[in-house]
Every structure is written in structure tokens, then in C-alpha cells.
Amino acid sequence: MDKAKVLSDDLLKLKLEIRQFALDYGLTFYDVEFEVCDYDTVNILAAQGGFPTRYPHWRFGMEYDQFSKGYAYGVQKIYEMVINTDPCYAYLLNANHTVDQKIVMAHVYGHADFFKNNAWFSNTNRKMMDVMANHRTKIRRYMEKYGADEVELFIDKILSLENLLDITDLFETTDVQRHRQEIEKIASAEKNKTFDDDRSEALRSFMKSSFTQQQKKAKKDKAIKDKEREKERDKDKEHQSEEERARAERDGDKHKDSLDDPTKNATLLKVLPRPQRDIMKFLAEHAPITEWQSDVISILREEAYYYLPQRVTKIMNEGWASYWHSRIMTEKSLEASEITDFADHHAGVMQTSRKSLNPYKLGIELFRDIEYRWNTGRFGKEYNDCDDIHQKENWDLKLGQGRAKIFEVRKAHNDISFIDEFLTQDFCNRNQMFTYKFNPRTNRFEIDTRDFEAIKVKLLSSLTNYGAPVIEVEDANFANRGELLLAHRHYGVDLDLNYAHDTMKNIWAVWKRPINLRTKYDNKEIIFVFDGKELRPVA
Amino acid sequence: MDHPIKRDHARFRKIIKGKIRENLRKYVSSGDMIIPKGPKRFSIPMPQIEIPRFKFGDKSQGGMGQGQGNPGDPVDGQPDEQGEGKEAGQGEGNKDVEVELTIEELAQILGEELELPNIEPKGRHQIESHKDRYTTIGVIGPESLRHFKRTFRESLKRQLIMGTYDFRNPLIVPIKNDYRYKAAHTKVEYENSAVVIYMMDVSGSMGDEQKEIVRTESFWINLWLKHQYKNIEIRYIIHDATAKEVDEDTFFKTRESGGTLISSAFILCRDIIKKDYDANEWNIYPFHFSDGDNWSLDDTKLCLEILDSDLLKVSNMFCYGQVESRYGSGQFYKDLFEKYGERSDSVILSKIKNKEGILDSIKEFLGKGK
């Protein structure tokens, strides 16, 4: 990072100017620190997900390799990068022209506002700079202690699980967590009291299920935030083992003593109260692994969750930032001499493609459309039910609520709800959207349809669960053999079995017992098992 | 001090050394990835290690796009992965970058990954070529090559010396003697030349799969030799019981039936070399591919004679690639092996089991740097 420099006077002046424009428009944000870097530094930062320090891993080297080559061969260029911290850090490329720097700054303030105000970001750790640095120190220490290869190999395996996250975890605050843990404690105490009585099996099982319901109602997940964990390591260990003991007792397991064994015995965990979507956490807590391995999982999990809000708001986030760079530039900041350069740059970013949707373009157009509709009152039952084409075309209630509406939207939505609520037939037509699919007869991809509903369904399903398959741990003692049962919630698209095989191999290496996967393949319900050697369907 | 990422990078490169070969293998064998785009340009994927994750199969699902067209109109190319626009944004994205590479770069990658040594041409630089480069200045020349700055300077110099330069009215008027022109400097370059003569058995036992292997292999061999020699010629001979010279297209498409007399190809090869290529001027590379069947022991004997008395004397090395086939006996390899052994410098033998064996075979052929 020694290559990054603070702003020169000129740039500082620009920054203050643009910052003021952004404030005038009503954007709010944590302070933004701009740093000027040369290209190599930008490549390094981009490769490391925006952060100057990450734990040692070849993957960052690979990213760096690609960014550098992409730049050298002229295929790609990074214009702008900003990270979600307090203060926000953003990087400016020293080779850029003034007008480019202005656009980037304006764009960055859009992102900064989004980071601060969008609900999905409300619980992200704004001190991630420090957290990332701590992670590096920890992993380096593990590497010194247990061997770099060993640790790297383990990281490779865990990275396989990086897309198996539970998006609702984003809303588990510390308060919620504490509340939940208390309830659990009480519940387990009650359990202890009533466990050895002579009530019938049926009654007991009834109580058990009402307990699960109560627990469900009580609050979402059982996450123990990793941060907490680091800080209150010891305290937390208590919690953890208590939790486990409680669970074990719930399940009627009387071999309590074996729980004191530091390597957790997976087979003790018989029944999951409900399917676990947070597979990384599940493994960190229940797999028979060592302390450091569990910690590595927690580290990678925390980083994955840090990036998750950005993954579920890509369209909105880029759309919002683009909307504001466009407004700030065209209404306030541009010099006459800069207009063509701005237009050129902006058009490049907004370029549409026949092969994929450009999130920048889709996002900015949607925000503009919403603003227009709420300015003119083109929403609601009355407008939708209007049959008179002429009247509909000239519909204008002069509400002027557009600006307020888009601020509200940027606060409350993520990409899915954003598309679901604001993508209209009219919008699809105007933006010439279509879906395409492969035609085996002609051996090429062809436009499939311009039907609004079809487009919307396809877009929404591609965004569901941030584009990853929904997979949950359903049973930790499958077939009473301590095997893991994963369930794939099939929403119409089959899994790629080759990838599934390799992924399950990695999970197997952590769980150390066969991994089962229930899914649908070729329209048939099927369970695959990976037993350490091969992936095969369960007969 | 270097940024720690350089260490990650070095680590990545190291992993790829084992891994890129897999990658290379993948597209060497598929052959599909190597599509000439315009003259001399190829598109290959960048080395990348993909961490396995659960993901959806069936790319033929398609996707969404924007633009004109009616249902049924083609959407060009493959669907993009959802991701990266021009800006990298603040998050992580999917970067399946395809990089356009020139042949030279591709050859370089091949050389690097297979650790091929540069070829040391036989030390004769016989072919002269003249190259004009405009690196000097002359006093005569066409107006189009006038060197403004130099002309101006000469003019200024003259006026200063003559005392006609007035700094209050700095007017420079060049006269004829002041004019300077860019002039060419002729450089004589000596070039190395090479000829590759491919011979292939096209008798009934060589199936399409075998020919595909030969084709892919010869593509990479040509790529490498083209990278090493400025001037390269390629000749093709096919044979069953008789041999004839053909063009590239025919070479890979012909399928004959009938017996196999390898000597027929060797004789034709010898004749071609005699007629067109002076061994003092040319680096000569005869390659022979077959499934190892020959008609008779006598013919094999004849082949070895021709090799010894003619081909080996004039060529840098003689390469024999035996493509495994269900019908071939593989006898010819054994015969050659018996005579020249594994370690021979002038006769290089290689068995190619299947498509995956192509890279190793290329390395065997070209690994000697001859």
C-alpha cells in the first residue's frame, strides 16, 4: 500500500466539491477516503477484494494474474473501486483524466450512500479493514504452526462452501443473538428437569416439537457471530458446549462425558431442530475438526458474509451509484469541455449486451423509471386499471414523489424485491429485454421470448439465493450412521454433478463421514452419496 | 519490499505449472478452442483454477439480453457469466476473461509450459534478406519524406552563421540546401529456414480418431517451429502401399485402404529433400505418423536403410509418432526402438496413446532443442 498516495490539492478540491453536491442531493454516507494508486496497486487491491491486506492464498495471486493480464492485453480496466467500511475507502487511478476522476468520485459517493443506508448492509462490520488484517495475522500464525501447505489445503476445501450461506443471517444482530441464547438456555434447563420423568414417549415428542416451534418463533438462527467469538473466546466456548450439551440431551443422548473430548464427535448430534442453510457455521461447530480448523472456517465465513450484501444488491447498488454520478455530473460538476468525454465513458459503462444484462444499465434505468412513475403518479390500481390508451399515455398527477420514492427504495430493497416490485411490462418493452435459450436443432442460442412474465420469472430465478443453489444440512446422522444429509431445494434447475462431486469430496474431507445429497435429477428425486471414493446414487 | 501478493502470485504460478498443463491438455485435445480469428489470432482462456462449488448445470438454459431481434434470431456467441461490466465495482465478480493471443504468444506459452528449449538451428544462415529501415537522414529525397525538424534546424543554423537571423522577427526561410529527408538504411538479415515433411500412413487401420490426433499434434508442432524459424515450409505425404505428395487438406482427409509400405513414403521424402532442399541451407524435419503396421520385414529393413543412408544425414532429427489404434500392431516402433534405442539424438520415437498424450509427445519431439 506504500504505492497509494493521498489526494493532490486539485483532486482534494474536486472531492470536496463533489461531496458537497452529493450532500445537497440528500445523500448520506460515512466519510470517503480517496487514495490515488498506480495500476499495479489497483490490480492488487482488486485481486484482494478491495482490501490492502488479506490472508496468504494463491487465489489472490490468481486474481492478480488475471487483472494484470487483462490490463496488459487491454481487455479490461478497473475504473473504480470502493469498499464498504467506515470510513469508506475508494481508489483513484493516477493515470485517469480529471473528468474520469470526477465520474469515479461521484459514483463512489453513490455507493457510499447505499452502503450506509441499505437495510441489507445494516449489520456489516464497518471495521472490516482491521478484521481482514487480523484474519491475515491469524492464518499466518496457523501456517507457521501447522504448515503452510496444510493450512492452504484446508482453506481450499472450505472455499468450496463459500456460496452456501444463509442470507437471513445478515439480520442477526448481537441483541437478537443474546435473546435467542437465553431462550435456549431456559429451554434446556426445563428439559433437564423433565427429562427423567415417566411421561409417555408421545407426550415427550409433543413437547419436543412445541419446543422447536417456540424456538423458531423466538428467533431465526443459532449463529454465534464470529466477531463475538474472537473477542469472547472463552466465554463463547461455554456457550457452545452448553448449546451442544443441550442439544445432545434433547436428543436423549446420555453419553455426556464424551462431549468433553476436544475433538467434537459428530455422531453425537442426532437431530437437527431444523435444516441448516449456514453450512460453514454448521461444520465449524459440529465437524470433527481441530480448533484451528474450526477457526479457519469461521474466518472464511465471516469474510463471505461480509461480501454477501453486495452480492444480493448488485443491480441496485450499481444502478444507484450510476444514477448519482449521472445526476451530479450532468447537473452540477461537468465543464463544457468535458461533456464528450463524460458521454463516452458513461456510454461505455451503460453498454447493453445481447448476451447478458448489464447491472449498471438495468439498475439506473429502473431507478429513473421509478422516479418518473412516482412523479407522475403512474402506479397503483387506478393507473393500472385504466383502459384508455390516450389517457394512460398522458397520465400525470403531478405528484412529485419520485425523488422521495427512490430514496425509500434504496433503503428497503434488495435485487430480488427491487425487480419483483418495479420491473414493468412497459419497462421491458422500452429496454428491449428478451430471454434466450439454446436451440439444439440449429446449435445456437436464439431469442426465446419477449414476454414480460417470462422475462421476470427468469430474472428473478437467476437472482434467487444470489444465483447459487439452495442447499441445506438436513440431517447430521443420516441413516443413523453419522452421515451428513444435504438437501438441494430444487427450483427447476439441476445441479452440475461434476461440480457437486468435487464439492462433496471437500465436505467429506471435513466431515469425515459419507456425504449424501438429496436432489432432483432428470425429474427424478434421487439421493447421491459420496463415500470418500466416488459419487453414486443411493440404491 | 515486494507486496505479499507477489508471493500469492508465485504460488499460483507454481500450482498452475502442474495445473495449466491440465488446462492446456483440455484445449489441445478438444481442438475446438483453437479457432483462428482473423489472420493469426487465437482466443484461449486464461489459466484459472476453479474452486469447485455447488452450481447449476445445463448452460443451455440460456439467459437474458437486451437489443433488437425477434424470437428465433440468433444471439451471437456463448452466454456470458453474470458479472463484470466495464467497471470492477466494489464486489467480487466472475472473471472468465478470454484473451486474444497472437500465434507468437501462444507458441511462447506452449514453450514455457512444456519447457521446450529453443532450437539451435544448424549454423548456416544462408538465406539473405534485405530490409529497409528509415533510420538515417539524407540531403535528397522525395517531399513526402521531408524531415521538418532537421530542415528547420539546418535553416536556423545557416541563418545564425550568416547573421540574417533576427530574434525580434524570428523568420526562418529554408533554401534548397537546407532540406533534409528521411533516408533508408538497408540491413541485410540472414534467416534460418526449415522444412517440415509430414508423412502419414492412411491405410485402412488409421481411423478418424488417429488422424485427429495427428492433426492436433502437427498443429502444435507447426506452431512451435514457426515460432523458431522465420522461414518455414511444410510438405505433406500420405502413403499406403504407395506414397504421394498432397496438400494439407487432403493429408488429413484421405482414407485409403490396402496395405502399408512405409518405405514408399521414405523414398518420396528423400526425393523431395534431394530436389528442393539443400541440407546446407535448410533445417529439415521429417515426421512420420502411423499405427505401426508395415507390410513386411523386408520393407522395414528397407526403411531403416533409407533412414541411415539418406534421411538422417540431412535432417535435424527424424521423428516417428506411433498413434495407438485397435488394429495396429505397433511393430514399427519396436523395430525402430531396437535399432536406435530411446536415447538417440537423431531418431525420436514417441507413442501417442490418446488425445491426452499429445502434449507429452510434443515434448518428446521438441524437447531436444534440435
Say yes or no for a CB contact (<8 Å) between B8 and A349.
no
Q: B25-30 long-range CB contacts below 8 Å, 24 or more apart?
A: B25/B356, B25/B358, B25/B359, B28/B216, B28/B220, B28/B355, B28/B358, B28/B359, B29/B216, B29/B355, B29/B356, B29/B358
pLDDT at position A49: 92
Q: Would you say residue B41 lies in a domain? A: yes
What ipTM does the predicted assembly reach?
A: 0.75
Longest dimension (CA), chain B: 98
DSSP string, A391-433: HHHT-------HHHHHHHHHHH--HHHHHHHH--HHHHHHTTE
**Cα(A528)–Cα(A61) distance, rounded to whole angstroms?**
35
Give B255→chain A minimum CA distance, Å.
Answer: 29
Three-state secondary-structure class, residue B71:
coil
Residues B165 and B312 in one domain: no
Position B124 scores a pLDDT of 54
Q: In this predicted model, what pLDDT tens digit does every residue of B69-88 receive, in sequence order?
A: 888 888 765 444 333 332 33
* B60 located within any domain: no
Q: What is the DSSP letter of A333?
A: I
Q: Whole-prediction pTM value?
A: 0.64
Cell of A10: 486539485
Whether residue B66 is contained in a domain is answered as no
Q: Do A444 and B74 touch (CB under 8 A)?
A: yes
Nearest 10 degrees: Cα torsion A270, A272, A273, A275: -160
User: Is the same domain home to B255 and B293?
Assistant: yes
| 3-state class (DSSP) for residue B192 | coil
pLDDT exceeds 90 at position A258: no
Cβ of residue A199 closer than 8 Å to a chain B Cβ: no
Decide which of A37 and B107 is more confident: A37
Distance CA B298, CA B300 (A): 5
Predicted pLDDT of residue A514: 93
Q: What is the mean pLDDT of residues B4-11?
A: 86
Region B246-262 average pLDDT = 78
Is there a domain that residue B87 lies in? no
Q: Is the pLDDT of residue A412 over 50?
A: yes
Residue B115 touches chain A, beta carbons under 8 Å: no
Model pLDDT, residue B125: 54
Yes or no, beta carbons of A355 and B56 under 8 Å apart: no
* Pair (B103, B137) in one structural domain: no
Q: Which of B11, B56, B61 lies closest to A437 in CB terms?
A: B61
B164-B166-B171-B177 Cα dihedral, nearest 10 degrees: 20
Selected residue of B32, B41, B90, B112 to mutate for chain A interface (largest A Cβ count, 10 A): B90
Contact A436 B79 (CB under 8 A): yes
Residue B70 forms part of a structural domain? no
> Could you tell me which of A487, A491, A460, A492 has the C-alpha nearest to residue A476?
A487
- Is residue B23 domain-resident? yes
Structural domain that includes position B152: 127-188
Q: Is B252 found in the same domain as B148?
A: no
**Same domain flag for B42 and B154:** no
- More confident site: A64 or B255: A64
Mean pLDDT of B45-55: 72
The listed range with the strongest mean pLDDT (A194-198, B4-8, B278-282) is: B4-8
Residues of B in contact with A77 (CB under 8 A): 86
* pLDDT for B98 beyond 70: no
In angstroms, what CA-CA distances link A289 with A256, A258, A263, A501?
19, 15, 6, 22
Pairing relation of β-strands B181-191 and A88-93? unpaired
| Min Cα separation B27/chain A (Å) | 18
Residues 27-46 of B with CB under 8 A from A: 46
DSSP summary character for residue A522: T
Q: How far is CA B116 from the centre of its chain?
A: 13
Q: Which of these three, B169, B188, B207, is where a domain ends?
A: B188
Neighbours of A17 (CB within 10 A): 15
pLDDT band at A488 (very low <50, low <70, confident <90, very high): very high
The C-alpha angle A507, A510, A513, rounded to 5 degrees, equals 80
**Whether residues B244 and B283 fall in one domain:** yes
Are A159 and A300 in contact, with CB atoms under 8 Å apart? Answer: yes
Q: Are strands A433-439 and A81-83 parallel, antiparallel or unpaired?
A: unpaired
Q: Which residues, in sequence order, are bridge partners of residue B127?
A: B191
Closest CA relative to residue B312, chosen from B338, B344, B342: B344
Q: Quick one: three-class SS letters along B273-338?
A: HHHHCCCCCEEEEEEEEECCCCCCHHHHHHHHHHHHHHHHHHCCCEEEEEECCCCCCCHHHHHHHH
| Least confident stretch, A119-123, B127-131, B177-181, B356-360 | B127-131
Same domain, B225 and B111: no
Identify the top-confidence range among A108-117, B231-240, B252-261, B313-322: A108-117
Mean pLDDT over residues A122-150, rounded?
92
Say which amino acid occupies A125.
N
Looking at the structure, tell me whether residues B38 and B139 fall in a common domain. Answer: no
pLDDT computed for residue B16 by the predictor: 64
B63 touches chain A (CB under 8 A): yes
- State the pLDDT at residue B299: 85
- Note whether B137 and B248 are same-domain residues: no
pLDDT score for B189? 65
Q: What does the pLDDT read at residue A409?
A: 96
Dump pLDDT digits (tens) for A153-195.
899 899 999 989 888 888 765 555 666 666 666 666 655 554 4
Residue where a domain stops, chosen among B188, B209, B231: B188
Between A71 and A40, the higher pLDDT residue: A40
Position B168 in a domain: yes
Q: CA A195, A196, A201: angle at the middle one, nearest 5? A: 70
Nearest-10 Cα torsion for A451, A452, A453, A455? 80
Is residue B319 in some structural domain?
yes
Residue B90 with chain A: CB contacts under 8 Å: 50, 81-84, 111, 310, 317
| Domain CATH code at residue B300 | 3.40.50.410
Do B221 and B355 belong to one domain?
yes
| β-bridge pairing B41-45 and B98-102 | antiparallel
Kind of pairing between the strands at B63-66 and A433-439? antiparallel
Quote the pLDDT of residue A114. Answer: 96
Are B111 and B244 in the same domain? no
Contact B84, B93 (CB under 8 A): yes
pLDDT recorded at residue B113: 64
Looking at residue B139, its pLDDT comes to 87
CA B204/CA A342 separation, integer angstroms: 66
B343 and B220 in one domain? yes
- B2 and chain A in contact, CB less than 8 A: no
> For chain B, how many structural domains are there in total?
3
pLDDT for residue A432 is more than 80: yes
Phi, psi dihedrals of residue A355, rounded to the nearest 5°: -100, -25
Contacts 24+ apart (CB under 8 A), B16-20: B16/B47, B16/B49, B17/B113, B19/B47, B19/B49, B20/B47, B20/B113
Q: Which pLDDT score is estimated for A354?
A: 85
Of B52, B71, B84, the CB nearest to A499: B52
